[in-house]
A and B are shown apart, each in its own frame.
Chain A
Amino acid sequence: MGNLRIRPYEDLKEEGMYNVNADIPEITYHHIGKRGVRRIDGYAKASGKAVYTRDVQVPGMLYAKVMRSPYAHARILSMDTSKAESLPGVRAILRYDDPEIGGRTLNGSVGGPDRMAGQFSGFALKPESVILAQEPWFEGQAVGAVVAADTEEIAKEALRLIDVEWEQLPFVLDQEEALRADAYVLRPEAESNRIIDIAERDFFELGDVERGFREADKVIEFKARRDAHLWAGAEMPSALARWTEDRLELWNHVQQPYAVKLLLSEQLDIPMNQITMYSPYQGSSFGERGNPADFSINGMNVLAVLTAKKAQRPVKLLFDRAEKFYGESGDMMVSYFKVGAKEDGTITAVDMKNIFAVFQCTPGIEHLLENTRIPNLRCDAVTADVSKAPAWWDRCEQLPNTFCLTLVFDHVAAELGLDPTLVALKNDGCEGHDMAWLSKYKNEHGFPDKDSLKECIDAGKKAIDWDSKWHPPGAEKLPNGKMHGMAFTWDHEWDDVRGTGSAAVWMENDGTVSIVAQHSDLGVNPWTTYCQIVADELGVPVEDVTIKPFDGDHIFSLMSPDGSCNLCSNGFIVRKAACKARAILLDLALNSFEGLKVGDLDLKDRFIFEKKNPENRKAIKDIAVLAMPMHNAVGTWTEPPIVGWAWHQHGIWGDAIETGRPRLCRQAHFMQVEVDTETGVVEVTKVVNANDVGKAISPETIEGQMYGGTYMGVGRALTEEMVWDPKTGVLLNRNLIDYKCATILDCPEADTVIVETQMGHGPYGTVGVAEDIATMIPALLGPAVYNAIGVWVDDFPITPQKVLKALGKL
């Protein structure tokens, strides 16, 4: 026992913490970065055999539906469920005044007081944190009762048979109206409808904006508005709960199954080892299944679990498409900007006031801080309570930040008559520091010193033929009579700096390899990518590697893109675990390579070989066959299994200076439009994304996120809009016919350009890309339309009506 480690936990921590660029890979890439690696999930998805939560059924399962408020603000005075109870096929009704649910609130303990915590989420900021309400605060809120029945139809019919006596109450829809002194105050105990941001993001200041305006050659002011759009993920949420005595099994469409388990355990007093969480295939999430404390996860789960207990049967609670329009839309904002700039494009000061409805995802100023050398910044970010469902992150919480950055830069360029790409290069930097400061950082931390923005701009300009197509605003009428417009925006790549996870890499006796960790696949082809990394580290073909992601009864858990970081964390995790498994394999192999040390050996093409003498080799499977997890003891000598597990902490949210990790990779986007000035119709004819992804591990996957993000972004900019009736507060277009997502016929040409500088903080110098484009593209339509017609339409989405109004035709 002499070599017992003194601080085993501290050792694990040290091994798991990310150090800036301490992780420089020494392997030769065989699968990493290669095209044509077959998707591991492709066949299951194309054949329809992949099982999603919505597909799961268990014997004896009941279907459950929850009542929704028909009013924007109301109170239940009385509720009679007797008719519903006597409907044949109804097995259980959970009422808002039942002791097990009455007054119970969403549990947001996980994560503590940070942005992922429930008390920070849109739902928890308001009285909507009551899971099954008596007093609904928006139309569509879950209220009154849950019915479990033999079929979904019977459950719906039973809800119709419940008699509710309502008291209707006043409501407010618009955030600016809600903040007026004479506004109706929604919460009786509050003095106003203003919601104080508990993370203290209500006000930010850097430098002295007044001085910045004095130093400017020009000061411009403008207003912009962005209304709610929806993630509208493909799979409608559902939760299936099954009790066996005191053991609970739960099937969930959710990004963080382990956090879900912890929350439920605390809330309903179920020991964690009595809960099994399954996360089957996930019909898209976009971050919206990423807050385990929100109603559509935590609330839905509690209702399913309690109804199942009451019915003494497995219960599957189903939300339909309309129900998914309540909660988890993108946030809504009105912005007032004042910007000072010198004639050469140097921005001297930005002052902004952003007014959000219900919830602010981010204040709006952060990218101007993280991404530029602008010395003077100020931001008031005010949030007002209104009678709409709480907003949440819609593919990415950075939308307010990208919205403000794009509009600030493009307004400045337009006002000064400068090429916007030059204005970007003029102001590129980090937290008030210029490119020289960034170069010093890169050199000190082992990064290549490249001008990422310039590389992205050059590549993007070439792809869209910018130099010959860009023109002064309103200057080019096309032969078809439409006005031609071009626009550009830029940002850093932000998806690379945070997250934690764990996984094991296990080599089985035949030399094939399994990655063992629960993981919710959101569609970004993560599993193939992890297999590519593990295959290269272990010297086996990628076909020999697979992942076991569905079962939550082992301890390992890879992070889904929570905190905007998937591959950048998980790539490290599987790589570290593979390296440990590799060390064990080589150590075991020494028995077969007499006189050699581990460092003398390497792995390639399913063989272990002596580096100096590659002819001296053994098949991996002939070594692995000795290492058995179990075997009967008669006549066979076995070795311990070849398995390595790793935990990795990639970091937490924070500014560059604070974390010591400035973002070094940039992205540039270009858009071409045609505007019909008679009808106001805007057609996006081409989009070019040029993204510095650091290192492309799976190029097709990156491109998928680029064109996919473009289509979602163009939809948000042009057609996607939630519309409320001002007279009743009722959401009018809660279906996918009236809420218009892009189809294949609506999509412009999307040209994807991958730039690789290896300056990301992820493994092999990579940086994420999946959130960026859908978040960057919407605001880019504004300057594109301006370039076409010479008038700003800073009101998103840019519908034909708004274009005609801007042109003075309405």
Chain B
Amino acid sequence: MEEQTSKYLCPYCSTKFEAFEDLKNHALAAHAGEPAPLPEGMIRLTINGGEYQIQVQPEWTLNYLIHDKLGLTSPKMFCDRGACGSCTVIMNGRPILSCMTLAIECDGNIIETAEGIADAGHPLVETYVKHHCMQCGYCTPGFITTAKALLDRNPDPKEEEIREALGGNLCRCGTYPQHPKAILEAAEILGNSEGGE
């Protein structure tokens, strides 16, 4: 019976509490230096370098949170069920589908969107423009995030590896042959700038 009524579990020592306030006081006293526990439904995210603390509903997808609630328009809904890659964001270094991810499960994660990649001056954005990797442009941010995640883990990709990495991104306008060119050029720019430092 006690199991059912104890709502709050200390993330550091598993002590049980009836009220959130009790848990919080305990954590602050017993585990000083660790992040304080959050109320139910509250999550912390780092998005494009900025810190967020947000109350979410259990059914919210990460896409709904980022796109509809935070107003970052880059993760697009194209297929609405994990088949197109247009909603891709980078989470803890990996490209993930934000429409297939529940926001409530993302507490503590680091997220990058195409806006953040552009604002940071990543060369991919300009090489994408140069090589006409967009036509209608709706799927383009999903390609940018996927490509950026690829370059982060593989700074010198072969064309075949690029095609493999982009295999989950649909583009109905058919811009496909341009993406490897833009990504290879961005890799070269990044390589040169690192070599020069």
Interface residues of A (CB under 8 A from B): 36, 38-39, 41-52, 54-55, 57, 153, 231-236, 281-286, 320-321, 521-525, 700-701, 704, 707-712, 735-737, 741-745, 747, 750
Contacts and interface: CB of A to CB of B under 8 A. Distances in A.
A236 B77 contact: yes
Contacts of A708: 135, 173-175
Interface in B129-164: 129-130, 132-141, 144, 163-164
A320 B80 contact: yes
Contacts of B132: 39, 42, 525, 700-701, 704
Q: At the interface, is chain A mostly helix, strand, loop or mixed? A: loop
B168 interface: yes
Contacts of A44: 137
B141 A283 contact: no
A284 B71 CA distance: 22
Given A43-B118, A283-B76, A52 B138 contact: yes
Given A235-B138, A704-B132, A712-B172, A744 B76 contact: no
Max count, chain B CB within 10 A of own CB: residue among A236, A707, A744: A744
Contacts of A234: 76, 78, 84, 86, 136, 138-139, 170-173
Contact of A743 (B74, B136, B169): B169
B68 interface: yes
A38 B174 contact: no
A521 B74 CA distance: 18
A611 B133 CA distance: 41
Nearest to A50: B137
Contacts of B173: 234, 284, 523, 704, 708
B79 A321 contact: yes
Contacts of A284: 135-136, 138, 172-173
A47 B79 contact: no
Nearest to A284: B136
Given A51-B73, A236-B77, A745-B164, A42 B128 contact: yes
B77 A704 contact: no
Interface string B48-88: 00000000000100000001100111111111110110100
A360 B36 CA distance: 66
10 closest A-B pairs by beta carbon, nearest first, are A48-B74, A45-B137, A42-B129, A708-B174, A523-B136, A283-B138, A47-B118, A48-B141, A523-B135, A48-B114
B73 A50 contact: yes
A45 B140 contact: yes
A744 B183 CA distance: 14
Contacts of B177: 707, 747, 750
B136 A522 contact: yes
A47 B167 contact: no
Contacts of A48: 72-76, 113-115, 118, 140-141, 144
A522 B115 CA distance: 22
Contact of B134 (A39, A707, A709): A39
Nearest to A322: B80
Given A47-B118, A744-B179, A710 B174 contact: yes
A429 B180 CA distance: 41
Nearest to B178: A704
B128 to A, nearest CB: 4
Contact of B81 (A39, A737, A750): A737
B96 interface: no
B97 to A, nearest CB: 13
Max count, chain A CB within 10 A of own CB: residue among B117, B129, B133, B175: B129
Contact of B176 (A49, A281, A711): A711
A543 to B, nearest CB: 14
A41 B137 contact: yes
B187 interface: no
B76 A54 contact: yes
Contacts of A744: 163, 166-167, 169, 171, 176, 179
15 contacts: A45-B140, A46-B137, A48-B72, A48-B73, A51-B73, A52-B138, A234-B136, A284-B136, A522-B136, A525-B132, A712-B172, A736-B84, A736-B170, A743-B168, A747-B174
B27 interface: no
